[in-house]
């Protein structure tokens, strides 16, 4: 009995010592384990907070950054002109799979209840002569170590989305230079290290210093005069005076005129022959599946390819666009179709080059966001 008491006392004493060491040396310990993660962990906070509070978050790619001074670009128009909070997330190369991965990392019940998400789709994601789908550098840009830790050790998402991300990494691991543990090991191996996972989870929570009582964002429809806005859009749009295709002068001179001289104009749209081999299409299906638990259904917006430029093989591309549209609608999600099959359906000025929206196009997008997510009483 005395021996048992002695052992218990020794265990308690040792535990107290460990606790004291951890308490008084917590900065050293945290720095030892988490110093490389601190900055990237903190970067995850703002996205999750915006999703949880119901701020409109627009996911997209190069259209969000290539012409940053466009007046009706959503981040400019909503935040500056309307004084309505809106976040954009993305730049060139962000596509369906990494959008899903970020949302999965931030996934919890509060996000599912409140998130208002817009996804800007581009036809160029699903077409092209090379293998389509997300490239590893863009995955790493958005699924940095802090976001990966959040996905693996803190997110409430379904395990199938974690496994999809893990499988993607392992398939492309040779493309990562000196991967750290979060990329190097498959999810099933990381999950087996229970004690280490507990430590990592606690560290994540220590640096995940978001507001525990965030203010839910409400919106009121601003009741805009869109006819007047379109007139303004035409007045501030980049000039297209040197061509008849609605392409801004600088882009036309730099990129289109050389192709005309080489007799490579107009362009053809290359469509992958089979949907099951179209990686971006498969990634879209995964993203659609992920959104099924969202209370406020997402808004998908399909952009365009200038029909005066991408003239060849537009029939086959149109079939692909119709297929994508049908899949989004089958899931019960809202869809703004800006794709124009024929030149007659295209409005000059809705694009500023051959793949990116112009001021008139952004007004259409802005109006749809307002109509869908905002009501007279606030939404």
What does the angle CA 155 – CA 156 – CA 160 come to, to the nearest 5 degrees? 95
pLDDT at 350: 97
**What is the average per-residue pLDDT within 118-136?**
90
- What confidence category does residue 32 fall into, taking pLDDT thresholds of 50, 70 and 90? very low
For the chain, give the mean pLDDT: 88
- What confidence category does residue 188 fall into, taking pLDDT thresholds of 50, 70 and 90? confident
Q: Which of 270-279, 303-312, 336-345 has the lowest mean pLDDT?
A: 270-279
pLDDT of 310 over the 70 cut: yes
- Token duo for residue 15: 């535990």
pLDDT of 98 over the 50 cut: yes
Q: Are β-strands 56-59 and 86-89 bridged in parallel, bridged antiparallel, or unpaired?
A: parallel
pLDDT tens-digit readout, 156-165 = 999 999 999 9
54 vs 204, residue with greater confidence: 54
pLDDT at 67: 98
Residue 59: in which H helix or E strand, if any?
A: strand 56-59
Q: For residues 355 and 122, is the Cβ–Cβ distance under 8 A?
A: yes
Q: For residues 259 and 253, is the Cβ–Cβ distance under 8 A?
A: no
pLDDT tens-digit readout, 52-83 = 999 999 999 999 999 999 999 999 999 999 99
Q: For residues 329 and 280, is the Cβ–Cβ distance under 8 A?
A: no
User: Which residue in 85, 90, 169, 168 sits closest to 122, CA to CA?
Assistant: 90
Q: What are phi and psi of 313, to 5 degrees?
A: 60, 30
The pTM assigned to this predicted structure is: 0.88
Q: Which of 17-31, 103-117, 321-335 has the lowest mean pLDDT?
A: 17-31
pLDDT tens-digit readout, 251-270 = 999 999 999 999 999 999 99
CA–CA distance, 218 with 232 (Å, rounded to integer): 28
């Amino acid at each position: 009995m005395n021996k048992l008491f002695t052992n218990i006392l020794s265990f308690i004493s040792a535990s107290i010592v460990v606790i004291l060491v951890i308490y008084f040396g917590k900065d050293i310990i945290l720095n030892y384990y988490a110093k490389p993660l601190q900055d990237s962990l903190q970067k995850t906070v703002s996205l999750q907070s915006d999703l949880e509070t119901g701020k409109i978050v627009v996911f997209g790619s190069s259209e969000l950054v290539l012409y940053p001074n466009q007046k009706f670009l959503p981040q400019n128009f909503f935040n500056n002109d309307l004084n309505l909070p809106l976040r954009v997330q993305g730049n060139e190369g962000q596509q369906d799979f990494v959008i899903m991965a970020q949302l999965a990392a931030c996934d919890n019940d509060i996000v599912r209840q409140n998130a208002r998400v817009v996804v800007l789709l581009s036809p160029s994601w699903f077409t092209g002569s090379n293998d389509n789908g997300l490239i590893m550098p863009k995955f790493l840009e958005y699924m940095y170590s802090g976001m990966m830790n959040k996905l693996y050790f803190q997110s409430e998402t379904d395990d199938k989305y974690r496994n999809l991300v893990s499988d993607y990494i392992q398939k492309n691991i040779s493309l990562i230079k000196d991967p750290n543990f979060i990329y190097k090991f498959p999810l099933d191996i990381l999950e087996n290290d229970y004690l280490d996972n507990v430590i990592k989870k606690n560290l994540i929570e220590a640096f995940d210093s978001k507001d525990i009582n965030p203010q839910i964002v409400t919106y009121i429809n601003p009741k805009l005069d869109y006819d007047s806005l379109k007139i303004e859009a035409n007045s501030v749009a980049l000039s297209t005076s040197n061509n008849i295709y609605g392409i801004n002068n600088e882009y036309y001179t730099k990129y289109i005129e050389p192709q005309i001289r080489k007799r490579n104009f107009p362009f053809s749209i290359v469509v992958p022959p089979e949907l099951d081999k179209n990686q971006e299409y498969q990634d879209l299906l995964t993203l659609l599946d992920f959104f099924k638990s969202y209370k406020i259904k997402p808004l998908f917006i399909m952009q365009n390819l200038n029909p005066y430029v991408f003239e060849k093989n537009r029939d086959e591309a149109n079939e692909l666009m119709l297929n994508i549209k049908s899949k989004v609608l089958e899931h019960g999600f809202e869809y703004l179709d800006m794709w124009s099959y024929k030149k007659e359906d295209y409005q000059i000025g809705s694009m500023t080059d051959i793949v990116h929206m112009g001021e008139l196009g952004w007004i259409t997008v802005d109006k749809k966001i307002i109509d869908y997510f905002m009501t007279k009483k606030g939404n």
